Amino acid sequence: MFSQYEADIIEKGIELSWMTWGKMRGETLTLQDISYLKSDTGRGFERIFSIKLNGGDMDFRIQQMISYIKARIMPDSMLITANTKPANLAELLSQKGFSIDNSGSCMMMEIDDYVSKIPYSKNISVINVCDVKQLRKWLDIINVALFGCELVTIEQFNDILNLENTHFYLGVLDEKAVTSCMTITQGDTSVLEMVATLKEYRRKGVATAAIDKALMDLRKKDIKTISLRAETDGINVYRRLGFKECFLRTVATCDWDKIYKKSCPCHIENDRIEKAKMILSQSEDIQSFVREMNNNQVIGKRIWYEPQEKALYIEKMYACDCSGGCPSNNTIIGQRCHCNYISHLNKSIPLSYCKCAAVFFEPMFIPLFGENILIEPVRTVLSGAEDCIFKIKLDVKNVNNQFTFEFPHF
C-alpha cells in the first residue's frame, strides 16, 4: 500500500524529469491537462507523462488524445500513474489498440531514513561529471546499456549538464567508467534518473556505490525525498538501498497494427451494407454494380472502377454536405473533414491518419469482395488535398476484357 503523499512525491519526480528533458535543444514541452514532450527532429525523448482529464465528455477527450497520437501531434506512449485521471485509463486504452506494460515499479524514499552501508572497494570510485569529456563517457554508457542506440545526443545532454539542479555521476571500476546515474532536484525533493551499468560489469557494486554517492550528496543539500521509476531488473537494487515500492510503473504504447481497427468509433449503417449486398447480387458486371451504387447514393460522393488496377475508388462526401464539419474552422479541413476529433485544426496531417477511415469501409466491402481486399487512403483533405479519395484493391479471380468477374453468392 502507498499513501497519497507518496504518490504525489513520485508524480512530482516524473514531472521534474520530463520538464528537465524539455530544456534540451530539439524538444518541445507542452504542459496542459495532457502534458507531453515531443522531439522536433525524431531524435530525443518523447512521452505523454501526465494525464489529468476532469469533467466534460471523458470519452471524447480520450478519443481526441488518441487522434492526436495518430496525427503524430502527441507521442505514441504515455506514463500512467496512481494520479492519472481517469483512474481506469490503462484499461480503456487496452480496448482501443494500446499495449500495456506494467512490469516496472515506481519507488520513493525519505532521504533522512537512508543509512549508507556501502563497503567501498578500493577498485571502485565515483566521480561527479563536470565537463564534456566526462559527459561523453557517461552518455556512452547510457546509449549502450540503457537505450541500445544513440537516442539523445551529447549536445542535448550538455544543455542540461550545467543546470543548477542536475548532478551527473560516473561509477568507475578499475579505472574504467562503467556506471552512470544522475539526480534532478526541485525544492526539497529529487528524482533519480539514467541509472545504467555496462552488462559485463553488473553485480559488482558499482551502481550501488554511484547511487550511494548521489544520495549522500542530496542529504548534504537538505533534500528530503527522492523517487524513481525502476525497470524489473533494477528493483532489487533499489529495494536493498531502502526505496519503497509504491505502485506499478505502467506504460501504454500505441500498437499501430491494432489502433486503426480498434480506436475509430465511426461505422457504416447496416441498411447501407445490406443495400450494397443487394445491388451486388443483382449486378451482371462491375460497371453495373458501380452504376447502381452511384444511382442509389449508397456510399460516398461517387464510386468508380479502374480495370487496369482491378480497384474501386471512392470519393467521400464533404462533411459540410452531411450537416457536419467544424463551425469554428472555415478552412477546407474544418468544412470537409468528417473527423470531429481533429477537424478544428488548421494544419496538414499525415496521410496515415486516415487509415482509420479506410477501416470504416471494411464492413461494407469485405462481405462483398472477401477478406483479401486492401483499402487505403490515396489523398485526403487532412493531408492537404481538395478531397478524400480511397482505393479498394480487389481480389478478383476472373477478370475478362469486359471487366466481368465472379461475385460471391449470398
Q: What is the pLDDT of residues 309-331, one digit of tens each?
A: 999 999 999 888 877 777 778 88
CA–CA separation, 356 and 260 (whole Å)? 5
- Cβ(252)–Cβ(77) below 8 Å: yes
Cell numbers placing 244: 519503497
pLDDT at 388: 94
CA–CA separation, 250 and 103 (whole Å)? 7
Options 2.102.10.10, 3.40.630.30, 3.20.20.70, 2.60.40.420; CATH for 111-241 is 3.40.630.30
Taking alpha carbons only, the member of 48, 39, 86, 41 closest to residue 66 is 48
- Cβ(280)–Cβ(298) below 8 Å: no
Residues 6+ apart with CB under 8 A from 26: 39, 40, 41, 43, 44, 156
Sequence-ordered alpha helix ranges (H) in 23-131: 58-70, 89-94
Q: Locate cell 480498434: which residue?
A: 262
Longest Cα–Cα distance in the chain? 88
Chain-centroid distance of CA 29 in Å reads 15
pLDDT at 158: 95
CA–CA separation, 97 and 58 (whole Å)? 18
pLDDT in tens, 206-262: 999 999 999 999 999 999 999 999 999 899 999 999 999 999 999 999 999 899 888
Sequence-ordered alpha helix ranges (H) in 313-354: 332-336
- Flag whether the pTM goes above 0.95: no
- Cβ(358)–Cβ(366) below 8 Å: no
DSSP label at 151?
Answer: -
- SS3 (DSSP) at 392: strand
The sheet carrying 244-254 orders its strands as: 27-30, 34-39, 47-51, 77-80, 244-254, 98-110, 225-230, 189-197, 176-186, 166-173, 124-128
Cell numbers placing 288: 453495373
29-64 b/e (C-beta count within 10 Å ≥ 16 → b): beeeebbbbbbeeeebbbbbbbbebeeeeeeebbbb
Beta bridge partners, 393, equal 311, 374
pLDDT at 328: 79
Q: How many CB atoms lie within 10 A of CB 96?
A: 19
pLDDT at 406: 52
CA–CA separation, 347 and 363 (whole Å)? 30
CA–CA separation, 112 and 193 (whole Å)? 20
Residues 6+ apart with CB under 8 A from 69: 75, 76, 254, 259
User: Which residue positions in the chain have pLDDT lower than 70?
Assistant: 119-120, 396-410
The domain ranges of the chain are 4-109+253-260, 111-241, 266-393
Q: How many CB atoms lie within 10 A of CB 16?
A: 19
